[in-house]
Amino acid sequence: MKYEKYKDLYTQYLISEKNLSKNSLNNYLVDLDQFFFDQDSNSSNINIKIKTYIAQLRKRNLKTSSVNRKISTLKNYLKFLHTEKIINQIDFQEFESLSSVKKIPKAISKSQMEQIFEDLKKSKQTNAELYILILKLIYLSGLRISEALNLKWSDINHQDNSIYVYGKGSKERKVFIINDYLVQLKNLEKNNQYIFTINQKKISTRSVNKFLQNCYDNSLIKNKLSSHIFRHSFATTMLENNADIRHIQKLLGHSSISTTEIYTKVAKSMKKRVLDSYHPLKNKL
C-alpha cells in the first residue's frame, strides 16, 4: 500500500471534517511520512510494521506528548483507511499511548491581568491597539486565538451581546461578551468580512504572539506571554468566581469535561501561591 496514493484523500478529510489549522495539518502529515516513508506496506505485514514503529518511538529520547501525538496520528489515519475499506485487519490494540502527567497551564490573576493590559497600552508598535483588542476578547470570552482571528462581522449578534464561534471540528458555540467591548469593535473599519484585519488581510496568530514578544523585549511586560495564557486566565477567573465547571466547558468549547477540570488545579495552585505569599504567619513557623 503506497501512502502517497491516499495522502490527498486524507488531507481533504482533515480539512473538511476536522477543521484543522494549516500548522496542525502539516504536523499530522509529517508524522505520517515518518512511518510510511519509502515503505510499500500491505495488509499482511502492516501490523508488524506498526508494532516495530511504536516500539522504536518509545525507545527514542522524545517527550511523552510527542510520542503520543505520533501514535494517535498514525492510528487515526489507519482508522480512516479502514473506514474507507482501503485496508483491513488492523490490530488497533497496538496503539496504546504512554501515560503522562497533564501539565497545569499557566494562568494570571485578575489584578495582574489588569496591569498587563495597562502596560501593553504603552506600546508604540504599529497596530498595537488592534492587537490589544484581540487579547482582550480572548480574556473576556475564553476564545482560542484561532477562533478570535476567524471571527466575521456576521458572527456578532448585538441584540443579546453574543458571538457565534466556529471551533475545532467545525463545532459552533455561542459566547457572550460585555457591551462595552462590542462598542469598541464598532470603531474598527469594516472593509473585510473578518473583524481583525491589517491592510485588508486577516491577522495571523504569529503576529499577535510577536506583538507580545516585542512588548517583553522592550520591558513593557515582566514575563514572556503567549495568547494562550489569556484563555487560560479567563477559565481560572471564572472558576475562582464559583462558575459551574460545565458552563465553563461550553464557553471554552471543550468536548470533554476532563480537559476543563485541569483548570481546577490551576485555581487551587493560584490560591496556594497567594496563601504562601501573604499569610500573616509566613516565615514565623
Contacts of 143 by beta carbon, 8 Å cutoff, 6+ apart: 137, 165, 175, 231
Q: Is 14 exposed, middle or buried (0-12, 13-18, 19+ CB in 10 A)?
A: middle
The 3-class secondary structure across 137-206, one letter per residue, is HHHHHCCCHHHHHCCEHHHEECCCCEEEEECHHHCEEEEECCHHHHHHHHCCCCCCCECCEECCEECCHH
Q: One of 168, 173, 250, 268 is an active-site residue; which one?
A: 168
168 an active-site residue?
A: yes
Q: One of 70, 75, 136, 231 is an active-site residue; which one?
A: 231
Residue that is written with C-alpha cell 502517497 in the block: 4
228 an active-site residue?
A: yes
Round to whole Å and give the CA distance between 78 and 90.
8
Round to whole Å and give the CA distance between 198 and 196.
7
Q: One of 202, 228, 250, 268 is an active-site residue; which one?
A: 228
Nearest by Cα to 195 from 144, 147, 151, 161 = 151
Q: One of 75, 136, 144, 232 is an active-site residue; which one?
A: 144
Round to whole Å and give the CA distance between 67 and 251.
30
273 an active-site residue?
A: no
231 an active-site residue?
A: yes
Widest Cα–Cα separation across the chain: 70
Nearest by Cα to 141 from 118, 159, 165 = 165
DSSP three-state, residue 22: helix
Nearest by Cα to 254 from 282, 229, 232, 274 = 232
Which residues does the annotation mark as catalytic? Answer: 144, 168, 228, 231, 254, 263
